[in-house]
Amino acid sequence: MSDTSFDEARLAVAEAQLLAYDVMFDAFVANAGLQEYDFDSGQTRQKVTRADLSQMRLAYQYLENRVVTLRARCTGCGVTIVRPGW
């Protein structure tokens, strides 16, 4: 087992979850009257309403960051976290 195989597997799962979020957001955008969506992230199934979209966007942003980080690990590039010095 190579050093990156674990991260590659995690990347594949995170990308699939990100795709599920994209499909959900597209469903809400395409149908303005849609009030509820059966969301399957690959790990859980839940009903998402329009009121939940702000929280779902936060989860989406987390997943995007995770995908970028995992891609960097798989290709050997480093990820630097920069914080202010004050």
Predicted confidence (pLDDT) per residue in 14-65, tens digit: 999 999 999 999 999 999 889 999 998 888 899 999 999 999 999 999 999 9
Domain ranges of the chain: 5-75
Task: Please determine, for residue 79, whether its predicted confidence score (pLDDT) is greater than 70.
Answer: no
- Rounded to whole angstroms, the Cα distance separating 24 from 39 reads 7
pTM, two decimal places: 0.78
pLDDT at 1: 45
Nearest to 11 by CA among 76, 66, 75: 66
